[in-house]
Amino acid sequence: MRIPTVIRRRPITAGVALAVLLTAGVLQFVGVNPAASQSATLTAFESSTDPGTDPASPAWKKAPVLQAPLSFQGATYPTGGGSIPTVSAQALHFQDRLYIRLQWDDATKDDTTTKVENFSDAAAIEFPAVSAATVPSICMGQASSGVNIWQWRADSQAGLKDPADVYTNALVDMYPSKDAIFYTARAAGNPYADPNQGPTQTLVAQAFGTLAKANVQDVKGDGVYADGKWAVVFERQLTGGDVDQATFTNGKSTDMAFAVWNGSEGDRNGKKSVSQFLKLSLVGVSLTGEESSPAGWIAAAALLVGFVGLGVGLGWYGYRESKR
Amino acid sequence: MGTITASKRQLAWVFDLNKCIGCQTCSVACKMLWTQDEGTEHQWWMTVNTQPGQGTPKGWETMGGGYKDGKQTPGKLPTPEEFGGGWDYNYQEVLRGGKGRDVHLEKTAGSKTWGMNWDEDEGAGEFPNSYYFYLPRLCNHCTQPGCVEACPNDALYKDPENGLVLRNEDLCKGAQMCARACPYKKIYFNPARKVSQQCIGCFPRIEQGVAPACVRQCPGRAAWIGFLDDAHGPVAKLVNQWKVALPLHPEFETKPNVYYIPPLSPAPLNADGSWNENGDRIPASYLESLFGQPVHGAVDTLKTEMAKRRSGQPSELMDLLVMYKWEEALGHLRRDPAEIVWS
């Protein structure tokens, strides 16, 4: 009796599907995307150790990397940027805190803004505010859907340089008004003007030109420049300080965009290299930082089995088809 | 991009360049009041420079900014080197180092090669017809301020009550777009506060009925302050009625609100030592390059009124310019700052 074709093929089809599912599942589990350059999702795994704000922390070794292409900012005045073509992003979460590490190539370390023509290297991450009614415009959000921006600045990290380095012989016998109120920008609460602010600012915006200091300044960060690269880590608790800020939930994803400023190119304000909206996905799966962890070996073995199974299945399928 | 919101009234300054003696009292009064703090050492919101000259910052008139046919034109950022600064001498070596017989006083390394009043009294012209005059400058508190429109953070605005151009220092992020846009290059960067700053028109004094320091302290009675729409005030009379007070570089199209009485000058000497009674030592073309075409009418009016007064006839314009009563310069802002208890 001749067996109907559809029944004869079924075990092979099922085997191929199983191999595909197995491979996909393992890839998802380890956060490796075979089409990484096409991916728009950065997966934040749980870290087994506290990554801290040191970009050289070993916790980052295993964290998947998303290469985000950057481009010229041409949507609003002042336009510019584009000199930094790509930024490498990684994300981890540890206990109740989220860590995002950015790294990009920059031939010059620009961290001094004493002269009027000096501009600082900087980087920023944008998220929708938890109160956003819809996905906000990537361009600073809109009235009903604000954005939360975390900015790190190289000059703020370097601290105030002595103006006398530039304005030599500007001899001063005494400053008559050392009270805080006389430091007008500081007294007005400008985070950039405050030497105690640290390298990062927590900002909120609801449209172009509305960027302002968030009520709660809770983003920490640190940047290191070495070998022609900046590496910067942002750290914040998963829950935002108020409704204008972003909140991150395990098992959920959120939109995210990057911006990088290259000071030596005159980048400042809107003159910056920007990404599109990407996804940041928080998963409750632990990612160990060890090079030879059992989980890593199991994942690798499963991947091998999956790929071999897929190859064999497809080969067998092709062979059978050619015989028909 | 910032939005310019027109103010209800506009304060304006008038400086009489025939009376300014270049004493820098206005500059120092302003410096003492506003720019003595950390990060403001290099800032001179009020400056007096000799014209013709390169001024402060060096060569500011050619740095661009302002508008051209109504469209904003980005200028260049004036550098600290162009603003210049102080210098020092090798006093230690000469006076206390025992080398006084061999080493002469000279500027130390790192000394600036330009400064706020570097080309003082150099002027132009060939002896015996060399000439110069002084030009006091501050923020022009323009009616069409390029800085306000250029600010990407909307940090600058025109005060709705008096038209002063002021800055929200909590919003400024040091993008320097204002410094680029200002064609008068009167905006400074404060490296200790990371924000740009400029003349604030002494607005805390104005709110208390006190005239700005530059006007109140002028010993030459060469400065006036007042509302442009106050028809009885000297400012409005000089600007609108007599049309002898003119804005500097109107071609920058920012509609500045600091006005100048153009300088008259003596007749030049001919080669044989006789007077050329038909000429002016300061070329009319140079004045036109500063104040535009209307300067010729203004100079004619000044000469006419001066001749009237010399022939014994009354002249309201000359009385105004003489400023018999010093308080007239202060308009409605006559309160003595010493009587105010600042809290």
CATH code for the domain in which residue B333 is found? 3.30.70.20
Q: Which residues of B touch A185 (CB under 8 A)?
A: 169-170, 172, 190, 193-195
Q: What band does B28 get if pLDDT is binned at 50, 70 and 90?
A: very high
Whether A312 shows a pLDDT value over 90: the answer reads no
pLDDT score for A277: 95
A169/B191 touch (CB, cutoff 8 Å), yes or no: no
Q: What is the mean pLDDT of residues B223-233?
A: 97
What is the interface size between A and B, counted as CB pairs within 8 Å?
Answer: 123
Start-to-end CA distance of chain B, whole Å, equals 36
Q: What is the mean pLDDT of residues A109-125?
A: 95
Number of neighbouring beta carbons within 10 Å of residue B87 = 14
Per the listing, tokens 């025109």 go with B158
**Which residue type, as a one-letter code, is found at position A18?**
L
At B187-199, the pLDDT tens digits run: 999 998 999 999 9
Q: What is the mean pLDDT of residues A308-317?
A: 75
**Residues 112-141, chain A, touching B (beta carbon < 8 A):** 113-117, 119
CA distance B177 to chain A (A): 9
DSSP state of B55: T
Give the containing element (helix H, strand E) for A10. Answer: helix A5-30
- Determine the 3-state secondary structure of A256 from DSSP: strand
pLDDT score for A324: 63
Three-state SS letters, A271-322: CCEECCCEEEEEEEEEECCCCCCHHHHHHHHHHHHHHHHHHHHHHHHHHHHH
Q: What band does A157 get if pLDDT is binned at 50, 70 and 90?
A: very high
Alpha-carbon distance A37 to A278, whole Å?
12
B177/A166 touch (CB, cutoff 8 Å), yes or no: no
H helices, E strands: number in chain A: 4, 14
Alpha-carbon distance A313 to A61, whole Å?
34
Q: Is A186 on the interface with B (CB under 8 A)?
A: yes
Q: What band does A57 get if pLDDT is binned at 50, 70 and 90?
A: very high
Q: Answer whether residue A129 is part of any domain.
A: yes
Q: Answer whether residue B88 is part of any domain.
A: no
Give the containing element (helix H, strand E) for B197. Answer: strand B195-197
Cα dihedral B171, B172, B177, B182 sign: positive
Q: Which residue has the higher pLDDT, A144 or A292?
A: A144
Chain A's closest residue to B171, CA to CA, is A190
Q: What band does B13 get if pLDDT is binned at 50, 70 and 90?
A: very high
Whether B245 shows a pLDDT value over 60: the answer reads yes
Q: Answer whether residue B51 is part of any domain.
A: yes
Same domain, A108 and A232: yes
Q: Which residue has the higher pLDDT, A209 or B292?
A: B292
B85/A212 touch (CB, cutoff 8 Å), yes or no: no
Start-to-end CA distance of chain A, whole Å, equals 17
pLDDT score for A56: 97
Q: Among A113, A167, A181, which would you mutate to test the B interface (most chain B Cβ atoms within 10 Å of its Cβ)?
A: A167
Over pLDDT 90: what percentage of chain A? Answer: 62
Number of neighbouring beta carbons within 10 Å of residue A291 = 9
Chain B's closest residue to A159, CA to CA, is B192
CATH code for the domain in which residue A66 is found? 2.60.40.1190
Alpha-carbon distance A83 to A106, whole Å?
9
Same domain, A126 and A211: yes
pLDDT score for A295: 56
Whether B306 shows a pLDDT value over 80: the answer reads yes
Q: What band does B158 get if pLDDT is binned at 50, 70 and 90?
A: very high
Q: Answer whether residue B98 is part of any domain.
A: no
Q: Answer whether residue B100 is part of any domain.
A: no
Over pLDDT 70: what percentage of chain A? Answer: 82
Same domain, A111 and A205: yes
Q: Answer whether residue A209 is part of any domain.
A: yes
A163/B42 touch (CB, cutoff 8 Å), yes or no: yes
Q: Answer whether residue A171 is part of any domain.
A: no
Chain A's closest residue to B190, CA to CA, is A114
Q: What band does A14 get if pLDDT is binned at 50, 70 and 90?
A: low
B80/A188 touch (CB, cutoff 8 Å), yes or no: no
pLDDT score for A307: 73
Question: Which whole-number Å values give the CA distances from B317 to A273, B238, B244, B320, in the listed order?
Answer: 59, 8, 9, 5
pLDDT score for A289: 47
Q: Answer whether residue A94 is part of any domain.
A: yes
Question: Which whole-number Å values give the CA distances from A295 to A18, A93, A285, A290, in the listed order?
Answer: 22, 18, 11, 10
Q: Is A301 on the interface with B (CB under 8 A)?
A: no
At B41-91, the pLDDT tens digits run: 999 999 999 999 999 999 999 999 999 999 999 899 999 999 988 888 899
Per the listing, tokens 């400008």 go with A190
Geometric angle at alpha carbon A229, from A227 and A234, rounded to 5°: 135
Total domains present in chain B: 1
- As to burial, measured by CB atoms within 10 angstroms (0-12 exposed, 13-18 middle, 19+ buried), residue B6 is exposed
Q: Which residues of B touch A113 (CB under 8 A)?
A: 174, 191, 194
- Nearest Cα residue to B160 out of B2, B9, B13, B3: B9
Contact status, residue B292 vs residue B245, Cβ threshold 8 Å: no
Alpha-carbon distance A182 to A255, whole Å?
41
Number of neighbouring beta carbons within 10 Å of residue A200 = 28
Q: Answer whether residue A104 is part of any domain.
A: yes
Q: Which residues of B touch A139 (CB under 8 A)?
A: none
pLDDT score for A21: 62
Contact status, residue B167 vs residue B156, Cβ threshold 8 Å: yes
Q: What band does A38 get if pLDDT is binned at 50, 70 and 90?
A: very low
Total domains present in chain A: 2
Q: Which residues of A touch B154 (CB under 8 A)?
A: 209
pLDDT score for A33: 45
Alpha-carbon distance B68 to B296, whole Å?
23
Same domain, A99 and A225: yes
- Alpha-carbon dihedral angle through residues A110, A114, A115, A121, given to the nearest 10 degrees: 20
At A140-149, the pLDDT tens digits run: 999 999 999 9
Same domain, A86 and A201: yes
Q: Among A116, A161, A178, which would you mutate to test the B interface (most chain B Cβ atoms within 10 Å of its Cβ)?
A: A116
Cα dihedral B283, B285, B291, B293 sign: positive
Whether B334 shows a pLDDT value over 90: the answer reads yes
Same domain, A256 and A300: no
Question: Which whole-number Å values give the CA distances from B168 to A200, A319, B92, B173, in the listed order?
Answer: 21, 75, 44, 10
Q: What band does A156 get if pLDDT is binned at 50, 70 and 90?
A: very high
Q: Answer whether residue B176 is part of any domain.
A: yes
Same domain, A142 and A216: yes
Q: Answer whether residue B266 is part of any domain.
A: yes
pLDDT score for A171: 76
Number of neighbouring beta carbons within 10 Å of residue B113 = 11
Q: What is the mean pLDDT of residues B28-51?
A: 94
Chain A's closest residue to B32, CA to CA, is A176
Q: Is A185 on the interface with B (CB under 8 A)?
A: yes
Q: What band does A34 get if pLDDT is binned at 50, 70 and 90?
A: very low
Contact status, residue B154 vs residue A211, Cβ threshold 8 Å: no
Q: Is A189 on the interface with B (CB under 8 A)?
A: yes
Lowest mean pLDDT among A129-133, A307-311, B230-234, B278-282: A307-311
**Which residue type, as a one-letter code, is found at position A106?**
D
Whether A290 shows a pLDDT value over 50: the answer reads no
Q: Answer whether residue A142 is part of any domain.
A: yes
On average, the pLDDT of chain B sits at: 95
Q: Which residues of B touch A186 (CB under 8 A)?
A: 193
Q: Is A302 on the interface with B (CB under 8 A)?
A: no
Same domain, A14 and A144: no
Same domain, A249 and A111: yes
Q: Answer whether residue A184 is part of any domain.
A: no
Same domain, A248 and A229: yes
Per the listing, tokens 């003007």 go with A193
Q: Which residues of A touch B113 (CB under 8 A)?
A: none
Same domain, A200 and A129: yes
* Residue range(s) defining the domain that contains residue A116: 48-159+195-286
* Residue range(s) defining the domain that contains residue B57: 11-83+115-338
Q: Which residues of B touch A197 (CB under 8 A)?
A: none
Contact status, residue B74 vs residue B202, Cβ threshold 8 Å: no
On average, the pLDDT of chain A sits at: 85
Q: Answer whether residue A83 is part of any domain.
A: yes
Same domain, A131 and A211: yes
